[in-house]
A = this chain, B = another copy of it.
């Protein structure tokens, strides 16, 4: 062990024992005071606080969790590029804090898979996890559910170990189709979510609504990102068969649709109407204002947190096995208008 030891450990942070020594009391007492527990004299209490502040003491959450045997931690897996997930996270923080839980985020990115994201949540000893729009296989989700309380958000999956919170997707697409039909549209295409969570349900909702109106459904492969909407429009243009209305899988996808239509000199909503899904708070600012199906992120987040905590505290509420369904509504903005053909 030489002086220039490579990979030097970082400076030691100040600990409970440091504070105790400096204040001339036991670590147990410092612990009491820091937690605001009763059983310390006002004099000592004040002294400990003063010393702790002087030394810049911050309790080590890991040691605390380790000793307590529980972390009070709620893990959240989300996709970092999805604006809707950002809205959910806001809500999760709020609800978790109110319930006395901490939140640990684990992002999915191009280079970081869902497996890895979930793996770190397990290693962090979360007491429950909330998976936002997971794309993993049903089997893997079920395995996670078998390990610890798991709430799945915005995805249809039925399994006794998984608690699901989602929007009424069928209903949502029904609203959108009704709106467009009301405006006189008959050639309405659905740019779907391909293999994305809940894409299947939205396709079903679209087909059912079209059938209800006696219209021919037409589905073009899309996805959850801008690029997918963009490519779908390119395909439609290449086929020379543009509909009068496009129903996109979600807001980012709708954005891609709008972008490529605009670039191709096709005006919205005069020539083509476009509808999104989610109503991320960005949707209202897409220049024209995107007409979209709103699913309330805050409400979904609260439901998810509520369920996660119920599961942790083992109140074996049968309600947990039923899907928590949020009713969507249609927000009409500038990207839809009367059919002119």
Interface residues of A (CB under 8 A from B): 6-13, 56, 58-63, 65-66, 69-71, 80-81, 83, 86, 89-90, 93-94, 97, 102, 104-107, 109-112, 119-120, 122-125, 127-128, 147-149, 226-227, 230, 252, 255-256, 258-259, 261-263, 281-282, 284-289, 312-314, 334
How far is the CB of A13 from the nearest CB of chain B, in Å? Answer: 7
How far is the CB of A140 from the nearest CB of chain B, in Å? Answer: 13
CB neighbours (8 Å) of A93 from chain B are 107, 109, 111-112
State the CA gap A81–B90 with chains docked (Å).
9
> Do A258 and B287 contact each other (CB < 8 Å), given the known contacts A89-B109, A93-B112, A313-B8?
yes
Residue in contact with A287 in the complex, picked from B119, B123, B259, CB distance below 8 Å? B259
> Do A259 and B111 contact each other (CB < 8 Å), given the known contacts A10-B148, A89-B80, A313-B7?
no
State the main secondary structure of chain A at its contact with B. mixed
State the CA gap A91–B81 with chains docked (Å).
12
Q: How many copies does the complex hold?
A: 2
Closest 10 CB pairs of A and B: A62-B62, A226-B285, A61-B123, A105-B105, A262-B287, A90-B109, A259-B285, A58-B122, A10-B127, A80-B86
> Do A69 and B9 contact each other (CB < 8 Å), given the known contacts A56-B147, A90-B80, A262-B288?
yes
How far is the CB of A71 from the nearest CB of chain B, in Å? Answer: 8
State the CA gap A230–B70 with chains docked (Å).
46
> Do A289 and B259 contact each other (CB < 8 Å), given the known contacts A8-B314, A62-B62, A314-B8?
yes
